Structure 1
């Protein structure tokens, strides 16, 4: 019998909700608290690569997941003018019956994960987070922000880039850093030729088009933003068009259609990698709380979902908690570090205008690394 029977997950994002399903699959009691009073989702769309589809299969969510997005096989690498440089075939890591990759709107993905967690029996409370944690050898006593209390065998901090759990248990000195770049995103009706992920390499920017459904795709562009400037909401459309000025072809045509600033989502790019142990006693971190990356390799959410697969698998075992958490970190550390460091390297090349940078080489290595079992 597993030594962990009751778990608190702090944070109702992609990683926390995925973990809830994984733990409920193994019969563990799961409480999840989310500081937002209502489910809200930031962003436009998300790329889910073959390793994520495999992870979703391991969580028992792949069929509802695939039915909610746009499945595709290949990744195309293009010049800024739109000429195809290379077509990278996908890997069917989840099995021959499943596609290699898919795009899905963030709102749709959230609905898939949250509805599954609820159906599996997760107790979810919104508008609530932790106020105080007190550990002892047998468990963690938690006081919540509404004054209620709970007792748990394990607490998981899945509360994102600015994790309160991380600050409470690991110290406030562990903070994300601004990388020097930002990303702009905008939805469009799907063009027939965008039936795969298309990445466009400019001298100072990287743009991409990803299908989200039969009728929808999204355009993104990463850009150098020295000093992390404030982006006035009323100017977001103008600024996104300016950041796309070096691109031709389909991207150039779409650029001229960007006119409503309310349709543009902008986010400064921040990163964090915790190089010390990811756990303290019976409190452990997951996802962006411990290894937040930039979107250059499209693996941020994927790493959080893989974390959930590994941690839920281990917590079902009969072994001391510290041993299980140590194994969790050992299985995840190098893989997540590679994603964070490689994504940052691509961003640095973009900001430097490094025309001889081997971005294709990094993408190929990422595909090789993530194809390996977790």
Structure 2
């Protein structure tokens, strides 16, 4: 009999909802609170590599997951003019019957995760989060922001980059850091030739196209933005076109179709990596609350889903919570550290004009590492 029978998950993003399904698969009672008053999803699309497809299979979500996105096998690396440098095949880590990679809209992914968590019996409450946590040897007493209370065997902070749970555990000294770069994103209709992830290396930018469905893809471009300036919302289309100026080929053609600033999603890149351990007593952090990274290696969400797989697997075991969380750290710390540091390395290289070969080598190493078992 597992010693953890009732869990509170704080945060209804990718990591929190994935964990809810994983725990419910094992018969563990789950409450999930989300600070937003209603489900809203920020962003356009997301790249899910072989390790995420494997993790979704382990969570029992893979069929719905694949049905909601666009499966593809590899990644093409191109010059800024659109000339092919190298094709990197993906690994079918989930098994030969599954694809190597998937592009999926953030809205479609959220619908898969939230509907599945609810169907499995997760009790979800929107519009509130935790106000105070008080632990003893046997559990955690929680005061919520609406004045209600609950008691849990474990509390999981999956509440993102600016995690309230992290602050309650570790104070205000652990704060996200702006890396010096930002990313612009925009959706487009998908032409037939964009049937894989297409990445273009410019002198100081990284841009690309990712298929999301039969009819949809998204474009991204990273750029150095010293000082983290506040971008005028009515100029986002113009500013994105400027960042794409060095690119030719399909990116150059699409660039001129970026005219509506409301269709551009702009986000500064911020990172945090919490020193080990990511827990205190019976409260633990996962996902961006513990290890937020940049999008250069497309692994931020993947690390959160992997956290959910490992933690739900361990919490089903009959062992003291301290032992289980210690084992969680041994399985997750170095892998997440590698992703965060390597992603930052790619971004720093872009800002100083690193070679295409340097960036490609990091991408290939990431693909090797993430294909390895959890």
CA distance in 1, matches of 2:323, 2:352: 43
Q: Which residue number corresponds to residue 275 of structure 2? A: 275
Q: Which residue number corresponds to residue 236 of structure 1? A: 236
Query: What is the count of residue pairs matched by the alignment?
Result: 374
Q: Which residue number corresponds to residue 348 of structure 2? A: 348
Q: Which residue number corresponds to residue 53 of structure 2? A: 53
1:162-202 Cα shifts (integer Å, max 9, x gaps): 00000011111001100000000000000211000000000
1:284-327 Cα shifts (integer Å, max 9, x gaps): 00000000000000000000000000000000000000000010
Residues 201, 356 of structure 2: 8 Å contact kept: no
CA distance in 2, matches of 1:68, 1:354: 36
Q: Which residue number corresponds to residue 133 of structure 2? A: 133
Q: Which residue number corresponds to residue 247 of structure 2? A: 247
CA distance in 2, matches of 1:310, 1:104: 23
CA distance in 2, matches of 1:241, 1:62: 36
What displacement does 1:357 show? 5.3
CA distance in 1, matches of 2:192, 2:250: 11
What displacement does 1:252 show? 0.6
Residues 189, 216 of structure 1: 8 Å contact kept: yes
* Unaligned runs of at least 5 residues, structure 1: none
Q: Which residue number corresponds to residue 90 of structure 1? A: 90
Q: Which residue number corresponds to residue 142 of structure 1? A: 142
* Unaligned runs of at least 5 residues, structure 2: none
CA distance in 2, matches of 1:357, 1:141: 52
1:264 aligns with 2:264: yes
1:86-130 Cα shifts (integer Å, max 9, x gaps): 000110000000000010000000000000000000000000100
Residues 140, 151 of structure 2: 8 Å contact kept: yes
Q: Which residue number corresponds to residue 323 of structure 1? A: 323
- Give runs of aligned pairs for residues 104-143 of structure 1, distance below 5 A: 104-143=104-143
1:4 aligns with 2:4: yes
1:201-225 Cα shifts (integer Å, max 9, x gaps): 0010000100000000000000000
Q: Which residue number corresponds to residue 157 of structure 2? A: 157
SS in structure 1 of the partner of residue 204 of structure 2? coil
Q: Which residue number corresponds to residue 100 of structure 2? A: 100
CA distance in 1, matches of 2:360, 2:301: 21
Residues 141, 152 of structure 1: 8 Å contact kept: yes
1:183 aligns with 2:183: yes
CA distance in 2, matches of 1:279, 1:143: 19
1:70 aligns with 2:79: no
1:235-274 Cα shifts (integer Å, max 9, x gaps): 0000000000000000010001100000000000000101
Alignment RMSD, CA only?
A: 0.6
CA distance in 2, matches of 1:275, 1:149: 30
What displacement does 1:276 show? 2.6
Residues 276, 329 of structure 2: 8 Å contact kept: no
Q: So what's the TM-score if we normalise by structure 2? A: 0.99
Residues 57, 94 of structure 1: 8 Å contact kept: yes
What displacement does 1:355 show? 2.9
CA distance in 1, matches of 2:357, 2:295: 18
CA distance in 2, matches of 1:236, 1:46: 20
SS in structure 2 of the partner of residue 7 of structure 1? strand
Residues 311, 328 of structure 1: 8 Å contact kept: yes
What displacement does 1:356 show? 6.1
Q: So what's the TM-score if we normalise by structure 1? A: 0.99
Residues 349, 357 of structure 1: 8 Å contact kept: no
Q: Which residue number corresponds to residue 362 of structure 2? A: 362
